Amino acid sequence: MLLVANPVLANDINNPRFFEYKSDSFVNELVNVSFGWFKTLNDNQRSAYNQSVTHAVMFAENGQRVDWYRDGASGYSIPVMTWPNGSGYCRRIHVQSVAYGVERTFSQTACFDNAHGNWRWIR
């Protein structure tokens, strides 16, 4: 008899809570979102935010929205465009975050280099 303690549902695959990404230099280079004087995401919120952005950059299809929500803050990341670039490709990501009643929106481009096997943000 097979016992499954925590079954994975089809909807979980598109939900960043299913994935537990670890911060690395790629994610740490992302813009730190501020919502006013001394108002930033707490560690738990920042983790959900980073997971959403990471999943959107690495795995989501263009136009696929990756939502996050944690401790009264929420947002989403959407890859809107992907194009070849040298030895890899780039993706344009739109990000929105809401916390403390304030909305922040920005766009950023991330490029993957096949030769080195890493992502980097283009400023």
Q: What is the pLDDT of residue 103?
A: 95
Look at residue 30 in the predicted model and tell me its pLDDT.
66
Q: Which residue ranges make up each domain of the chain?
A: 33-122
What are the strands of the beta sheet with 73-85, ordered from one edge?
A: 66-70, 73-85, 88-99, 102-113, 118-122
List, for the chain, all residue ranges whose pLDDT scores fall below the cut of 50: 1-23
* Predicted local confidence at residue 97, as pLDDT: 95
pLDDT at 26: 61
Give the DSSP per-residue string, 34-78.
B-STT-B--HHHHHHHHHHHHHHHHTPPTT--EEEEETTEEEEEE
SS3 content of the chain, % helix, strand, coil (to 5): 20, 40, 40
